[in-house]
Amino acid sequence: SSSRRPRWREPSRSAVSMSLRAESEKTGSKRRLAADLYKIMMADTDEAGFKIEPKSEDSLDRWSVRLFAFDEDSNLSKDLAVLGIDAVELEMSFPDQYPFEPPFVRVVRPRFKRQTGFVMNGALCMELLTSEGWNPVNDIESVIVSIRSLLVVGDGRLQAAADMPEKKREALLAAARGKRKAATGATESAASAAVGQDDGPQKKRRRGEEGGVVAAPAKAAAAAPDKKGNGRDAVDDIVRTASNSAAGSYTTAEARAAYSHLSEYHKKKGWDSSG
């Protein structure tokens, strides 16, 4: 049916620029990279749980990737909520030999608990990203989706959240989920209110009267303080405090050093099915 057809997306300025570069680059390697990146820039990647954009407008070799909307039951999703962080940020650096050599992918922030999520000092323990495991036909989107999946499969934990006392972590998680639920409810209420805009005056007036009975207490409840004198601002303060905690980040140098160590180790020991 027509509803299943992919929606047309207006190309962003960056996408148009990338399309032109795909045509103008002199080497096959750069043309392939520009074409691959243009393709992914034109795709709707929100549903797949990631966003990709150049580190700078004229950059072709270094890209920023944000991973989000992880399975809510995963520890990684819970830790992100506890810390008030929206996404895991990666950086992809493409070598001159791409697609015959893999991109170097590292976690920028936040820091992961050691030996979780297949992350070691910012490097990803993943055979796919090594010279031995890389295949030139690999698609950038599928690589990102694989990384996103691996972080959850490897039970990724964020160091700052894992270091918290359990009670504090649970309280912050409950506060974050309560805030998200309230935001979702507000969005749904706004959508419901918008439905009445095309109705006739009588219908609209009746809906307004009915809505007033329900909406007024809800609005009052949202603004009213709790028994301790703290309203919704208290929840915001809790989440904001957690957001400002030391979630940490990795430097390029430590990630490259870890990558070299992992590569050497697995050349000798081999890779298991999960890596």
Residue 78: name the closest of 166, 13, 184 by CA. 166
Q: Is the dihedral of CA 65, 71, 74, 80 positive or negative?
A: positive
Between CA 38 and CA 57 the distance in angstroms is 13
Q: What three-state secondary structure class fits 48? A: coil
DSSP string covering 74-142:
SHHHHHHHHHT---EEEEEE--TTTTSSPPEEEEEESPBPTTBTTEETTEE--GGGSTTT--TT--HHH
CA distances from 111 to 56, 148, 221, 275 (A): 24, 15, 38, 20
Which listed residue (125, 176, 247, 258) is catalytic? 125
Radius of gyration of the chain (CA): 23
Q: Are 258 and 266 in contact (CB under 8 A)?
A: no
Q: How many CA atoms lie within 13 A of 267 on its CB side?
A: 9
Active site includes 125?
yes
Q: Annotated active-site positions, please?
A: 125
